């Protein structure tokens, strides 16, 4: 079952981040920003603390889009639900820093079993069909 996105952000607000997570998050945001600036052919905007880079080529991100630090890289997958989902990933980056990619990989590629996707909201992320 998908957890409400608000519950995940509350979790990160209440728990101290890993040591050096802030530096890792800032570094990842810089990498995401440069990658987005290089490849985005669409609108770039700031939405709720997230830099959204549209018009990215499909090979430049994973699945429907990728969150790297505070940057969301996508072609045009920017519904309010998806942006809510990506904002939780932003909080995960802020909490775990550069440990996040390794922890995410260890959680597995199946989004229905990956704790980071579950925390961000499977329904919002488009992993569950509407009933």
DSSP class of 4: P
Give the pLDDT of residue 13: 77
Give the pLDDT of residue 129: 78
With tokens 């890289």, the residue in question is: 73
Give the pLDDT of residue 92: 97
R_g over Cα of the chain: 14
**For residue 42, what are its two tokens?**
């669409």
Give the pLDDT of residue 131: 60
- Is the separation of the CB atoms in 118 and 5 below 8 Å? no
Predicted confidence band at 1 (pLDDT cuts at 50, 70, 90)?
very low
Indicate if the pLDDT at residue 9 is higher than 70. no
Angle at 68 (CA atoms; ends 46, 125), nearest 5 degrees: 80
HSE on the CB side for 75, CA within 13 Å? 7
Give the pLDDT of residue 11: 74
Give the SS3 label for residue 124.
coil
Give strand ranges (E) for the chain. Answer: 44-47, 50-53, 66-68, 71-73
- Is the separation of the CB atoms in 53 and 73 below 8 Å? yes
Q: Over the stretch 13-66, which tens digit does the pLDDT of each residue have?
A: 778 898 999 999 999 999 999 999 999 999 999 999 999 999 999 999 999 999
Angle at 52 (CA atoms; ends 27, 1), nearest 5 degrees: 90
Q: Over the stretch 82-119, which tens digit does the pLDDT of each residue have?
A: 999 999 999 999 999 999 999 999 999 999 999 999 99
Give the pLDDT of residue 38: 98
Indicate if the pLDDT at residue 68 is higher than 50. yes
């Amino acid at each position: 079952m998908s957890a409400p996105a608000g519950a995940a952000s509350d979790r990160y607000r209440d728990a101290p981040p890993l040591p050096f997570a802030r530096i890792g998050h800032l570094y990842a945001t810089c990498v995401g920003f440069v990658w987005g600036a290089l490849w985005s052919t669409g609108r770039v905007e700031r939405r709720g603390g997230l830099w959204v880079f549209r018009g990215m080529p499909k090979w430049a991100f994973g699945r429907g889009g990728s969150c790297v630090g505070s940057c969301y890289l996508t072609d045009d997958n920017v519904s309010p639900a998806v942006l809510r989902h990506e904002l939780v990933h932003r909080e995960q980056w802020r909490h775990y820093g550069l440990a996040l990619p390794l922890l995410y990989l260890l959680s597995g590629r199946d989004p229905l079993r990956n704790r980071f996707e579950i925390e961000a909201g499977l329904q919002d992320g488009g992993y569950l069909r509407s009933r």
